[in-house]
Amino acid sequence: MVRPPIIALLLVIGLSQPLHAARELEPNNSPEQATLVDPAQPITGTVEDQIDYYKIVLTATGTVLVRLDNYPRGADITLGINGFQENDSTPLIKKRGGGGSRLQLRFNARERVGLIWVRFTFADSVCREQWCAARLADNGPWYTTRPSPLAPAEWQGAPVHDAATYRLRIFPPGPFKNEDAAARKTTDIPGYRHFYDAAGGLTFEYPPDWRVSSEPRRRHWSLSAVDPSTGGMRIDLELRRRSDFPGSSAERQRNLAERDLTARGAEIRKRGTVSAAGHPAPYLVAVLRPSDNSGGETAHMQVIVPFADDYCWVSYSGPAAAYGEQIGVFENLLKTLRLQSPQREVNEPPKK
């Protein structure tokens, strides 16, 4: 099962006050729960519910362009605007997609607060004890709406993909001539801490309730959740020199990880590709059961990130029951992961 890439949701608009988030924060499924978004930060829009609300503060009066794209083709989707007039709940305009993969609208706005919402009408949905999924189009594939390593590869004859994503961009009154540069801009995730190991050159961001330990000589780093109730969740990163594996590739490195996990009795549930550190990175998801039937199942996700001179093995391990709750920490680490040296930035794709 191929996981859709982690797509940036870039909101480009002027603001008059500090923002609380640079990404979608659940729950944001009602006007009162709207995510107050940062125009300078990329955020991810994920289809876990049928509607997402975003709150924007304009600092100028004029025409605003809203563009929605990169969602699954054929999805029944509606883009709507509330407010930007006398109050932030006044219905202003909405537009329904015609089954394509892009939707946009323009509207006249005043210098004030407003809401932008994205609504998906599910063609069908299903929920079982460990997973939920929905179809965004008639006879289309299923997309999980409750992340779980226990979701099947297919349901009722149709493939089951990981959660669908979309990109929303908002252009405020006046010209915006440097869209591409803004889209490439990367900044800290609000509330996260920045980690940099000068000896190893590895840098990433992580939440404050996780602990980092470093073994730069072994080129190994690990993160663990501080709260003991999480059941020992951890993330491990290891750099392996490409020169030690002549003729190998990121896919072959994943196959090595799969072989090791299978030898430990793991059941491989998914294989695919994610976007990590700006590169396509092969991954797999496995479930391990305790040999003595003590405790619950352990979920393991292994990602191989190909840098110019190294493979970075990044893995998440923790109770399968908490996979959906904590996988966002892992995704944010992959998104912010970089490998640097004192002389140059080495976060470019590997040479052909």
- Residues 308, 229 share a domain: yes
pLDDT tens track for 19-39: 444 455 667 788 888 888 755
With 0-12 CB in 10 A as exposed, 13-18 as middle and 19+ as buried, what is 4? buried
Q: Tell me, what's the pLDDT at 25?
A: 64
The 10 Å Cβ neighbour count of residue 101 is 15
- Residues 202, 167 share a domain: no
What's the Rg (C-alpha) of the chain? 21
Of residues 4 and 298, more confidence is placed in 298
- Residues 331, 225 share a domain: yes
How far apart are alpha carbons 7 and 306 in whole angstroms? 19
- Residues 312, 213 share a domain: yes
- Does residue 24 sit within a domain? yes
- Residues 308, 228 share a domain: yes
Task: State the pLDDT confidence band at 308, using cuts at 50, 70 and 90.
Answer: confident
pLDDT at 284 over 80: yes
- Residues 206, 173 share a domain: no
Q: What is the mean pLDDT of residues 163-171?
A: 84
Q: Tell me, what's the pLDDT at 89?
A: 61
CATH number, domain of 146, equals 2.60.120.380
User: Residue 341's closest CA among 304, 314, 307?
Assistant: 307
Task: State the pLDDT confidence band at 214, using cuts at 50, 70 and 90.
Answer: confident
In the chain, how many domains are there? 2
- Does residue 89 sit within a domain? yes
- Does residue 344 sit within a domain? no
**Whether the Cβ atoms of residue 64 and residue 114 lie closer than 8 Å to each other:** no
Least confident of 71-80, 133-142, 186-195, 323-332: 186-195
Task: State the pLDDT confidence band at 124, using cuts at 50, 70 and 90.
Answer: very high
With tokens 């750099």, the residue in question is 239
End-of-domain residue from the set 130, 159, 184: 184
End-of-domain residue from the set 127, 153, 184: 184
- Residues 199, 179 share a domain: no
Q: Tell me, what's the pLDDT at 39?
A: 52
CATH number, domain of 264, equals 3.40.1000.10
Residue ranges making up the domain that contains 209:
193-339
- Residues 33, 160 share a domain: yes
- Does residue 160 sit within a domain? yes
- What does the mean pLDDT of the chain come to? 78
How far apart are alpha carbons 332 and 325 in whole angstroms? 13
Q: What is the mean pLDDT of residues 105-125?
A: 86
End-of-domain residue from the set 146, 161, 184: 184
Whether the ω angle into residue 4 lies within 30 degrees of 0, i.e. cis, is no
